[in-house]
Amino acid sequence: MTSNSKTYSEHTQFRFPRHNTHKIQSDLLSRKEAAAYLGVTPETLAVWHCTKRYPLPVIKIGRLCKYRVSDLDAFITQRTVSTN
């Protein structure tokens, strides 16, 4: 056997790609991503959701909370204070 030859198992072994080259783009952000977008902590978003302090829509997928970018933008717009 030469140094360049491979065994049968090495030839037939399936290997997953190291990096996913096809990323799915979604307008849904995780709680951590949404918190970074708003400049608060993920814990703050969790408290807001639990206490219903702000009417920020949350999409529940299983146990995960997801946020739409458009809802976050609307939330920011509603809280913009004029300088009059």
- CA gap 19, 79 in Å, rounded: 40
pLDDT digits (tens, 9 = 90+) for 8-64: 555 556 565 566 555 666 789 999 999 999 999 999 999 999 999 998 999 999 999
Three-class SS state of 32: helix
Cβ contact 14:45 at 8 Å: no
Cβ contact 30:46 at 8 Å: no
The CATH classification number of 26-78 equals 1.10.10
Per-residue pLDDT band for 67 (boundaries 50, 70, 90) equals: very high
Higher pLDDT, 10 or 65: 65
Three-class SS state of 39: coil
pLDDT attached to residue 10: 56
